[in-house]
Amino acid sequence: MKALNITQYTGIDGLQYQDVPEPTPGPGQVTIRAEYAGVGYVDALLAEGMAELPLPWAPGIEAAGRIHALGEGVTGLRVGDKVAAPLTLLGSGGGFGQICLAQANLVAPLPAGMNPALAAVVPANTPTALAALERTARLQPGEHVLVQAAMGGLGTQFGQVAKLMGAEKVVGIVSTEEKRRLALELGYDEVWLRDELADKSGRQFDVIIDPVSGRARPELLKLLRFEGRLIVVGNAAQDGDQTVGTNTFWFDGISMMGFNIGLLSNAYPDIATAYLRRALALVASGEVTVPIQEEVDIRDGAQALERLRAGKTIGKLVFRHEPYGE
Q: Domain 2-121+290-320's class?
A: alpha beta
**How far is C-alpha 131 from the chain's CA centre?**
12
> For the chain, what are the domain ranges?
2-121+290-320, 135-261
CATH number for domain 135-261, candidates 3.40.50.2300, 3.20.20.70, 3.40.30.10, 3.40.50.720: 3.40.50.720
Highest mean pLDDT pick, 156-170, 185-199, 308-322? 156-170
Distance CA 211, CA 153 (A): 10
Distances in Å between the Cα of 49 and the Cα atoms of 13, 26, 40, 86, 274 are 12, 26, 15, 20, 31
Give the per-residue pLDDT at 244: 80
- Check the CA dihedral 169-172-177-181 and report its sign: negative
How open is the CA angle 298-130-166, to the nearest 5 degrees?
Answer: 130
pLDDT at 90 over 60: no
Q: Are 265 and 275 in contact (CB under 8 A)?
A: no
Query: What pLDDT is stored for residue 216 in this prediction?
Result: 82
pLDDT surpassing 90 at residue 277 = yes
Query: Is the pTM for the entire model greater than 0.75?
Result: yes
DSSP state of 213: -
Rounded Cα gap, residues 120 and 261, in angstroms: 16
Residue 153 vs residues 22, 30, 125, 315: alpha-carbon distances, Å: 30, 26, 7, 5
